[in-house]
Amino acid sequence: MTGALLAAGAERTVLPAEGERPRLVLGMQCRRSTFERVLRAAAVAQAGVTLLPGHADDVLRVRGRATGLRVDGHELPADLVLNASGRNGRFGDDLRVPEAGADCGLAYVSRHYELLPGAEPGPVNNPLGLMIRFPGFLSGVFLQDNRTVCVLIARVSTDRALADLRHEAAFDAVARIIPGLDAWTSPERSRPLTGVLPGGHLRNTYRGQLDAAGEGDPALPGLIHVGDAVCTTNPTAGRGIATSLMQVRRLVALLDESGDFAAVTAAFDAWCTERIRPWFADHLAWDADQVRQLAGEDVDLSRPLSSGHLVAAGEADPALRAVIGEYLQMNALPATLVALEPRAREIYAGGWRPTVPERPSRDDLVELIAPLSSTRPPT
């Protein structure tokens, strides 16, 4: 799979060696569409796999267990049903424990660009690309496959004035005045591949395998939920595919060990509670702090520091970066960052803060786009 992704144009995301820390491979620079195309081809090529396109209407149930699916009105029997239908899937919804979750409090607009032949990449400040917090908004450039990038502007979801960035004229005008974005989107460097793509109603969610009472029994024996049907997190951190693949690897291992699907479901649920749910909880705290920061609030040292504040403190003290690197690679759970909190508190109490450019501000963007967004239809 890795070889196929690289052949399709994906590139490894690398954190260069620093001091005693070795070079780290953090992941892949790849569009979701490229990843899914390669994954689909790999699945179709797998011996014993039959691809049956259609609409899965419901899970078949006999005597309190799953026995297959109803697809486009036809019954498809199966010994085991895996629900990988995504964040909006509703299989077994009447039986499962209720979802835990909250709105991220953020919304965004993005546009994809392709570097022109011979053009050099624009500026970056981290292995994923470029991320800068300005007063009242975030800007980012995410490196992707085949010399493409995703340019993003994120805002507090209640900021309706910046929602007008969904208009192409407004987005283009703003991109020209945001340092970094201006370089990446310059007509001399790149060309747009898409219109402006709005993203909203972002939620962090977690939902286990248990019944509606949450008393330890699978919702429906023979039906196992996996991927986004279990956990979703703020997509700007890019953890969705990682948490899903981690689940898949563990579930396959459990199925190899036992044919008792009820026992496998219980073991998988326990593993997800230990290894996946912490990433959901991590985003709840991190996103809440992001919203407060964009609203102009300072670090609150009366509360535990979120992972966002702990990671940022690594800019001030390189000694923290080894632990932070393991967390960013998702090799270590968010709880490992707690060990950094005493030192991070010293840094913040001493007055250090991450650098936030004064301009452009959120108000600068609103002033610029107001006359543009009111005269053009949304893209």
Instruction: Determine the Cα–Cα distance for residues 223 and 59; give it in Å rounded to an integer.
Output: 8
**Pairing outcome for strands 137-143 and 148-156:** antiparallel
Confidence band for 218, pLDDT divided at 50, 70 and 90: confident
The predicted model gives 119-125 an average pLDDT of 94
> pTM of the predicted model, to two decimals?
0.88
The predicted model gives 214-230 an average pLDDT of 85
Question: Alpha-carbon Rg of the chain, whole angstroms?
Answer: 23
Instruction: Tell me the per-residue pLDDT of 298-350, one tens digit each, with 9 for 90 and over.
Output: 999 999 999 999 999 999 999 998 899 889 888 999 999 999 999 999 999 99
Q: What is the pLDDT of residue 285?
A: 93
Average pLDDT score over the chain? 90
**What residue spans define the domains of the chain?**
1-51, 106-201+360-373
Helices (H), the chain: 2-7, 32-45, 168-175, 181-184, 240-257, 261-275, 277-294, 307-313, 321-328, 341-349, 362-373
Output DSSP code: residue 28: E
The predicted model gives 183-205 an average pLDDT of 93
Instruction: Determine the Cα–Cα distance for residues 121 and 129; give it in Å rounded to an integer.
Output: 10
Instruction: Tell me the per-residue pLDDT of 25-57, one tens digit each, with 9 for 90 and over.
Output: 777 889 989 999 999 999 899 998 888 889 888
Confidence band for 210, pLDDT divided at 50, 70 and 90: confident
Q: What is the pLDDT of residue 215?
A: 64
The helix/strand/coil state of 8 is coil
CATH number of 106-201+360-373: 3.30.9.100
